[in-house]
Chains A and B, each alone.
Chain A
Amino acid sequence: MKFVAVTACPTGIAHTYMAAEALEQAARDRGDELSVETQGAAGSDPLSEQDIAAADAVILAADVGVGERDRFTGKPVVEASVKQAVDSAASLLERAAAAEPMRVGSGSGGPSSDPATKVTANASAAVRLRQWLMTGVSYVIPFVAAGGLLIALSFALGGYQITEAPDVTERFDPASLTSWAALANQIGTAAFEFLVPVLAGFIAFAMAERPALVPGFVGGAAAVAVGAGFLGGLIAGLLAGGVVAGLRRIKVPSAVAGIMPVVVLPLFGSMVVGTLMFVVLGKPIAAAMTALTDWLNGLSGANAMLLGAVLGGMIAFDLGGPVNKVAYTFAVGGLTTGSETALEIMAAVMAAGMVPPLAMALAATVHARSFSAAERESSRPAWLLGASFITEGAIPFAASDPLRVIPSMILGSASAGALSMFFGATLRAPHGGLFVLPLVGDPLLYVVAILAGVVVAASVVIAAKTFVGRGATSKEQAPETEGAVAA
Chain B
Amino acid sequence: MSSELITTELVDLDLPDTDRRAAIRSLADRLVNAERVTDIERFLDDVETREQQMATGMRGGIGIPHCRSAAVTAPSLAFGRSSTGIDFGSEDGPANLIFLIAAPEGGDSDHMAVLASLARRLMRGEFKRTLLDANDPAVVASYVREEVKP
Q: Which of A's residues lie within 8 Å of B, judged by CB?
A: 10-18, 20-22, 25, 38, 40-43, 63, 83, 86-87, 248, 251, 254, 257-258, 260-261
Contacts and interface: CB of A to CB of B under 8 A. Distances in A.
Contact of A40 (B58, B67, B93, B112): B112
A12 to B, nearest CB: 8
6 contacts: A18-B119, A21-B124, A41-B116, A43-B112, A83-B58, A86-B59
Contact of B68 (A13, A22, A87, A261): A13
A22 B92 CA distance: 18
Contacts of A15: 119
A13 B120 contact: no
Given A14-B119, A42-B112, A42-B115, 14 more contacts: A11-B67, A13-B115, A13-B116, A14-B64, A16-B119, A18-B119, A18-B123, A86-B58, A86-B123, A87-B59, A257-B91, A257-B92, A258-B92, A258-B93
Given A13-B101, A86-B123, A87-B58, A257 B116 contact: no
Nearest to A256: B93
A31 to B, nearest CB: 19
Interface string B66-102: 1110000000000000000101011111100000010
A42 B116 contact: yes
A41 B119 contact: no
Contacts of B31: none
A10 to B, nearest CB: 6
B94 A254 contact: yes
A92 B49 CA distance: 28
A12 B109 CA distance: 11
B71 to A, nearest CB: 14
B23 to A, nearest CB: 16
Closest 7 CB pairs of A and B: A254-B93, A17-B119, A42-B112, A21-B123, A21-B120, A43-B109, A42-B116
B103 interface: yes
Contacts of B66: 11, 13-14
A13 B123 contact: no
B68 A41 contact: yes
A25 B124 CA distance: 9
A41 B115 contact: yes
Interface string B109-130: 1001101110110111000000
